[in-house]
């Protein structure tokens, strides 16, 4: 076993690079194609938001990076971190990489916490195992870390068990654990879905603030496009295991091209909306990931769908790092407007979804 570090990157080189990642699970019902050719780069100090509905492949992508997939997973593609092949590091049993250089915060804090151990001990153990701290050094660093993540009375809290803390405080403890070894990349997988809206905002702001102060990179996984706004440098929108649109955040919010991104944005509350404004949930459900048809996966739910959308999977157009989208009739273009008018006139899309005339 060996440990690995990453020194200074060459100018312009990404910290993390993912190319054509595929993940498949063999199940009794057939193969689940959870991730279908995902590629992205993440640069040092930047945040990439991965956004999509439940089942779109966000967590499987994250777990692949962290080498946390079950044995039933079949993975292909390339993941490099600072030039190192991450899957080769995992296969070689490299110590002090996962959980040190690259760490992850899960949706449910109890996934990462041991219910029968005091929280301070859990943080101290990480510091002793990975960084070789003495018992007393680790104990005082645990108090400092809780203070850093905004846990009040940290010297008292370190002696508490997870069940004695609120959901928000537990998640702060998990963030403290993830930060303990000063990672260069933090993957936050829906870190705030288990807490209420006010706590959610505090935790997201805390993560963003820590990222800036420590110069970390972050992958922020969320089903809520609103969470990415103002916090992410780049956004990748996932649907049915594929990235269907990706761009820098300003471009994506100002100039989105994929009807799914547009639908996601319509489904979130906006500050300027009146209090009782009705949101526009996305009709229908995401497709099955077993034996998907050779068509645009969003077609059954897409108000723009035309017959060509049902004859093959649209490719993600454009160059990596630029605005890319996988759509034949993109919103905000003449083709998109023509498709929408035709569907409104017909009252139905080519995939059979009824369309009203009020969009």
Ligand X SMILES: Nc1ncnc2c1ncn2[C@@H]1O[C@H](COP(=O)(O)OP(=O)(O)OP(=O)(O)O)[C@@H](O)[C@H]1O
Select the span of 19-27, 42-50, 268-276, 291-299 touching ligand SF4 (CB under 6 A). Answer: 291-299
Q: Is the dihedral of CA 165, 169, 174, 180 positive or negative?
A: negative
Which residues, in sequence order, are CB contacts of 55 under 8 Å at separation 6+? Answer: 286, 289
- Beta strand 185-189 with 217-222: parallel, antiparallel or unpaired? parallel
Residue 186 interface partner, choices ligand X, ligand SF4, Mg ion, none, CB cut-off 5-8 Å depending on type? none
DSSP string, 142-209: HHHHHHHTT-SSHHHHTTS-GGGS-HHHHHHHHHHHHHTT--SEEEEESTTTTS-HHHHHHHHHHHHH
Q: Name which position in 33, 36, 47, 59 contacts Mg ion (CB under 5 A).
A: 59
Q: What is the x/- site pattern for ligand X, positions 186-205, by CB under 6 A?
A: --------------------
Token duo for residue 271? 């500050």
- State in angstroms the smallest separation of the CB of 235 from ligand X: 15
- State in angstroms the smallest separation of the CB of 311 from ligand X: 24
- Beta strand 30-42 with 16-27: parallel, antiparallel or unpaired? antiparallel
- 56 binds ligand X per the rule CB under 6 A: yes
SS3 of residue 221 by DSSP: strand
Helix axes 167-179, 119-131, angle to 10 degrees: 10
Q: What is the x/- site pattern for ligand X, positions 212-251, by CB under 6 A?
A: -----------x----------------------------
Write out the binding residues for ligand SF4, residues 303-322 only, by CB under 6 A. Answer: 304-305, 309, 314
Q: Name which position in 103, 298, 316, 324 contacts ligand SF4 (CB under 6 A).
A: 298
Q: Name which position in 5, 20, 54, 212 contacts ligand X (CB under 6 A).
A: 54
Closer CB to ligand SF4, 106 or 304, in the complex: 304
Residue 57 interface partner, choices ligand SF4, Mg ion, ligand X, none, CB cut-off 5-8 Å depending on type? ligand X
DSSP string, 175-189: HHHHHTT--SEEEEE
Place of tokens 């879905």: 193
Q: Name which position in 296, 316, 340, 355 contacts ligand SF4 (CB under 6 A).
A: 296
Closer CB to ligand X, 123 or 295, in the complex: 295
- Beta strand 47-51 with 234-239: parallel, antiparallel or unpaired? parallel
Q: What ranges in the chain are assigned the alpha helix state H?
A: 58-65, 86-91, 119-131, 135-148, 154-157, 167-179, 197-214, 225-228, 249-255, 259-266, 334-346
CB-CB contact of 313 with 320 (8 Å): no
Write out the binding residues for ligand X, residues 273-292 only, by CB under 6 A. Answer: 289
Closer CB to ligand X, 107 or 160, in the complex: 107
CB-CB contact of 58 with 52 (8 Å): yes
- 264 binds ligand SF4 per the rule CB under 6 A: no
Write out the binding residues for ligand SF4, residues 234-263 only, by CB under 6 A. Answer: 259
Can you give the binding site for ligand X, defined by CB under 6 A?
A: 25, 27, 32, 34, 52, 54-60, 70, 72, 223, 289
Can you give the binding site for ligand SF4, defined by CB under 6 A?
A: 259, 296, 298-299, 302, 304-305, 309, 314, 327-329
């Amino acid at each position: 076993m060996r440990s690995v570090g990453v020194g200074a990157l060459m100018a312009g080189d990404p910290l993390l690079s993912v190319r054509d990642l595929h993940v498949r699970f063999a199940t009794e019902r057939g193969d689940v194609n959870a991730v279908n050719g995902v590629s992205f780069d993440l640069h040092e100090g930047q945040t990439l938001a991965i956004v999509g509905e439940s089942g779109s492949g966000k967590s499987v992508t994250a777990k692949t990076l962290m080498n946390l997939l079950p044995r039933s997973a079949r993975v292909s593609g390339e993941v490099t971190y600072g030039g190192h092949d991450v899957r080769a590091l995992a296969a070689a049993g490299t110590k002090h990489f996962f959980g040190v250089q690259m760490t992850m915060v899960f949706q449910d804090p109890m996934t990462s916490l041991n219910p029968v151990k005091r929280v301070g001990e859990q943080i101290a153990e990480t510091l002793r195992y990975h960084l070789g701290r003495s018992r007393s050094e680790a104990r005082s660093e645990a108090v400092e870390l809780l203070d850093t993540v905004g846990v009040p009375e940290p010297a008292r809290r370190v002696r508490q068990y997870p069940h004695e803390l609120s959901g928000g405080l537990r998640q702060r403890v998990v963030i403290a654990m993830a930060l303990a070894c000063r990672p260069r990349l933090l993957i936050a997988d829906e870190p705030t879905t288990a807490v209420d809206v006010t706590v959610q905002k505090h935790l997201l702001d805390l993560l963003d603030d820590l990222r800036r102060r420590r110069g970390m990179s972050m992958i922020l996984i969320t089903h809520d496009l609103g969470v990415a706004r103002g916090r992410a440098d780049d956004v990748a929108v996932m649907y049915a295991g594929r990235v269907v649109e990706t761009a820098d955040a300003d471009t994506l919010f100002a100039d989105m091209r994929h009807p799914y991104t547009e639908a996601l944005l319509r489904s979130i509350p906006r500050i300027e909306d009146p209090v009782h404004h009705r949101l526009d949930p996305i009709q229908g459900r995401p497709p099955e990931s077993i034996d998907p048809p050779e068509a645009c996966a969003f077609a059954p739910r897409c108000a723009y769908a035309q017959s060509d959308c049902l004859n093959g999977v649209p490719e993600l157009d454009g160059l990596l790092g630029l605005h890319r989208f996988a759509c034949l009739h993109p919103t905000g273009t003449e083709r998109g407007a023509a498709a929408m008018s035709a569907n409104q006139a017909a009252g139905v899309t080519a995939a059979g979804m009824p369309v009203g005339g009020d969009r």
